[in-house]
């Protein structure tokens, strides 16, 4: 093996080591606080996950006042107030007048054991869709409220805050993919204590995170719609890693119109309706308490010590154990004695599919599907994919047909690229002769080179341009398949039962080798994914069939490229099977194109006899 090849491999390995062993530890430093004392003979316990601060301005936690005296005895806690709509099964509680659980009846869990539990109570201290006064009584989010409306499509709660503000919150269920949260604030005092009417502000807490899909951690984030001129633009820039240490406050100047949480395929968004109360938004970290407790026990068994802050943060970011909650914060509102103030909010909970999001055109929800720079091409390809699926009823074969159609569409460009490469290869001996003849006359060498290209119809740049023209199509197809909810739990053949997840043939009897940890904490080879292995084999075959260049420098580059299929195959070992199927089909088509061009088109493009350079 050449020295440069070995050097390149070692350099790639060094980059991975530096990133995971130096950069990440620097970005997420371990906790500096001393360990807590534990009683003798007690098993090591986990460090408590960070609890989000009470809703406030995102910087200074509000003062928690003592619970006010209610006019009536405290209500009994009821945690099982069930309601059902055509799309959802919802469970409410009068503890904080919260939503405890939401089952999406249109979709299945990742293990297909029942309806998708899209919203659940990750942390009892952090409710979904609670309304609390800002900077005041944080206990309103956890203490029982009085049930004042108990109807099939309406569920109303009421409480008293600080002896003067009566808050009534009503969930109004609808037949579509949304429900309403109606709030009524009433000053029950008969006269003011002073000439100035009292002021209040409130926070409406969004869903306490959206249940992650398998391997979905990078897609868990807070999103918001902000006004830009007459349009509403989606900003999806609050992942879990951005709220590890403190909430992320969005300034009022950004003019936020709605906010919420999303994962790869689903969204929960809160939209103010008919009210201008909301002034700003903040995003807070939510920790899955039960999952963290299980992970802590496992860590303690394996390591013999409690996990530190770095372990917790890595787990929150990479495993889906951390989530993001949006909190909509109102302006200060004057409320004279005997007066009321009302606000209404629509809560959308649904799939990130183009058809559904397009129905919220005014709110700009369609911006949640970000296909990148070539989004218009992605949308066109998704339309063609839907057409193929309508014809054959299987998304796997639809991806195969779509890939074949794309390869056929760009075949003229591929043919021009490869013919140009073959022509340049045939010219290599003559070009080398010219270099030796004019090695001390660079200007003359350049003139003779251009003359040689012109006489034989070759162009060193003609192979690059067609390749660049193909890239937008290939990139657009990649993003289209990455975000298509249609592939979720869509089967292809035999063992490929979910095109949105890696294909899985079962466990392998091998341990997690320490060397593999250099590629990340979640990477291991304990599961057998067959499609990536087949893809690596086809890449190697395609590389072996590529014509070898007589030029020593290019030949050295080709030797280095022989290792790239294995490296990229390892990095894509956990890629969803729908994307792997696309790459595999494209590679097989590429091999076929190579042979077709070599046997049919190259004989038509044979070079004329080379001219003899003048002395």
Whether 344 and 273 have beta carbons less than 8 Å apart is answered as yes
Please state, in angstroms and rounded to a whole number, the distance separating the CA atoms of residues 475 and 452: 36
| Spatial strand order in the sheet of 88-93 | 81-84, 88-93, 98-108, 115-119
Nearest CA among 188, 130, 176 for reference residue 157: 130
Closest C-alpha among 578, 596, 591, 595 to residue 402: 578
Q: How many whole angstroms separate alpha carbon 314 and alpha carbon 295?
A: 12
Q: What is the pTM of this model?
A: 0.79
Can you read off the two tokens belonging to residue 11? 């350099």
Specify the higher pLDDT residue, 392 or 477.
392
Residue 258 predicted with pLDDT over 80: yes
**How many CB atoms neighbour CB 208 within 10 A?**
30
Q: List alpha helices for 19-167, DSSP H.
A: 24-27
* pLDDT of 326: 95
Residues 6+ apart with CB under 8 A from 298: none
CB burial string 316-348: b at 16+ within 10 A, e below:
bbbbbbbbbbbbbbbeeeebeeeeebebbbbbb
Rg (CA), the chain: 31
Neighbour-count burial of 10, counting CB atoms closer than 10 A to its CB (0-12 exposed, 13-18 middle, 19+ buried): exposed
Q: How many CB atoms lie within 10 A of CB 62?
A: 18
Q: Do residues 499 and 480 lie in contact, with contact meaning Cβ atoms separated by under 8 Å? A: no
Considering only residues 294 and 343, tell me which one the structure prediction assigns the higher pLDDT: 343
Residue 247: CA count within 13 A, CB half-sphere: 24
Tokens of residue 442, six digits: 């660079």
Cβ contacts of residue 311 below 8 Å, gap of 6+? 299
18 — pLDDT class (breaks 50, 70, 90): low
Q: Mean pLDDT, to the nearest integer, of 566-590? A: 86
The answer to whether 447 touches 490, Cβ cutoff 8 Å, is no
Antiparallel, parallel or unpaired: β 154-161 and 146-150: antiparallel
Rounded Cα distance, 573 and 13, in Å: 17
Q: Which pairs from 451-455 meet CB under 8 Å and 24+ separation?
A: 451/611, 452/427, 452/610, 452/611, 453/427, 455/608, 455/611
Adjacent-strand bridge partners of 133:
202
Which tops the pLDDT comparison, 463 or 143? 143
Report, as an integer, the average pLDDT of 78-86.
94
What tokens does 573 get? Answer: 């070992």
Q: If we measure between CA atoms, which residue out of 203, 267, 258, 202 comes closest to residue 233?
A: 258
- At 507-546, the pLDDT tens digits run 777 655 444 444 444 445 677 889 999 998 998 888 777 7
Q: Dump the DSSP string for 337-385.
A: TT-EEEEEEEEEEEE--HHHHGGGTTTTGGGGS---TTHHHHHHHHHHH
Nearest CA-CA partner of 149 in 165, 169, 130, 131: 169
Which residue, 228, 67, 94, is CA-closest to 150?
A: 94
Q: Please answer whether residues 239 and 345 qualify as being in contact, where contact means their C-beta atoms are separated by less than 8 angstroms.
A: no
pLDDT band with cut points at 50, 70 and 90 for residue 560? low
What average pLDDT does this structure show over 214-219?
81
With cut-offs at 50, 70 and 90, classify the pLDDT of residue 346.
very high
C-beta of residue 185 within 8 angstroms of C-beta of residue 165: yes
C-beta of residue 506 within 8 angstroms of C-beta of residue 540: no
**Phi and psi (nearest 5°) for 173?**
-85, 145
């Amino acid at each position: 093996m050449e020295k440069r090849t070995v050097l390149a491999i070692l350099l790639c390995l060094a980059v991975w080591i530096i990133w995971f062993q130096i950069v990440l530890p620097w970005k997420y430093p371990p906790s500096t606080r001393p360990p807590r004392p534990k009683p003798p003979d007690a098993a090591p316990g986990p460090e408590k996950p960070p609890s989000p601060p009470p809703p406030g301005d995102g910087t200074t936690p509000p003062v928690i006042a003592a619970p006010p005296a209610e006019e009536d005895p405290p209500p009994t806690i009821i945690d099982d107030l069930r309601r059902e709509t055509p799309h959802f099964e919802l469970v409410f509680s009068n503890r904080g007048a919260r939503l405890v659980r939401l089952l999406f009846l249109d979709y299945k869990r990742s293990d297909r054991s029942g309806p998708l539990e899209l919203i659940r109570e990750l942390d009892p201290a952090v409710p979904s869709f609670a309304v609390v006064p800002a900077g005041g009584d944080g206990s309103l989010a956890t203490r029982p409220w009085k049930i004042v409306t108990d109807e099939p499509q309406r569920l109303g709660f009421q409480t008293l805050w600080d002896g003067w503000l009566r808050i009534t919150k009503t969930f109004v269920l609808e037949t579509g993919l949304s429900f309403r949260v109606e709030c009524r604030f009433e000053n029950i005092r008969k006269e003011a204590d002073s000439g100035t009417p009292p002021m209040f502000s409130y926070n409406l807490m969004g869903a306490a995170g959206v249940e992650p899909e398998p391997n979905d951690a990078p897609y868990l984030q807070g999103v918001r719609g902000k006004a830009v001129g007459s349009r509403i633009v989606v900003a999806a820039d609050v992942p879990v890693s951005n709220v590890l240490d403190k909430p992320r406050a969005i300034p009022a100047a950004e003019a936020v119109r709605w906010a919420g949480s999303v994962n790869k395929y689903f969204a929960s968004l809160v939209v103010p309706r008919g009210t201008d109360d909301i002034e700003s938004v903040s995003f807070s970290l939510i920790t899955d308490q039960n999952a963290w407790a299980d992970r802590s026990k496992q860590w303690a068994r394996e390591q013999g010590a409690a996990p530190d802050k770095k372990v917790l943060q890595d787990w929150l970011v990479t495993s889906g154990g951390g989530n993001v909650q949006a909190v909509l914060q109102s302006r200060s509102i004057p409320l004279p004695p005997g007066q009321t103030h009302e606000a209404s909010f629509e809560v959308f909970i649904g799939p990130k599919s183009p058809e559904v999001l397009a129905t919220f055109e005014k709110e700009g929800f369609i911006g949640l599907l970000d296909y990148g720079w070539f989004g218009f091409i992605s949308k066109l390809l998704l339309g063609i994919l839907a057409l193929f699926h309508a014809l054959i009823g299987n998304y796997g074969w639809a991806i195969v047909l779509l890939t074949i159609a794309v390869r056929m569409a760009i075949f003229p460009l591929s043919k021009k690229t490869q013919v140009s490469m073959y022509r340049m290869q045939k010219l290599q001996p003559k070009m080398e002769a010219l270099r030796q003849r004019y090695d001390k006359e660079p200007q003359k060498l350049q003139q003779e080179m251009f003359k040689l290209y012109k006489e034989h119809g070759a162009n060193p740049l003609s192979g690059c341009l067609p390749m660049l023209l193909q890239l937008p199509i290939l990139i657009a197809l990649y993003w289209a398949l990455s975000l298509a909810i249609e592939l979720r739990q869509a089967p292809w053949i035999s063992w490929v039962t979910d095109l949105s997840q890696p294909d899985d043939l079962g466990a392998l009897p091998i341990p997690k080798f320490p060397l593999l940890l250099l590629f990340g904490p979640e990477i291991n080879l304990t599961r057998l994914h067959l499609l990536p292995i087949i893809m690596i084999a086809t890449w190697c075959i395609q590389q072996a069939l590529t014509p070898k260049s007589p030029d020593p420098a290019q030949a050295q580059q080709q030797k280095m490229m022989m290792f790239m299929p294995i490296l990229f195959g390892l990095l894509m070992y956990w890629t969803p099977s729908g994307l792997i199927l696309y790459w595999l089909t494209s590679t097989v088509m590429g091999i076929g194109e190579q042979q077709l061009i070599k046997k049919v088109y190259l004989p038509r493009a044979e070079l004329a006899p080379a001219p003899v350079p003048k002395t």
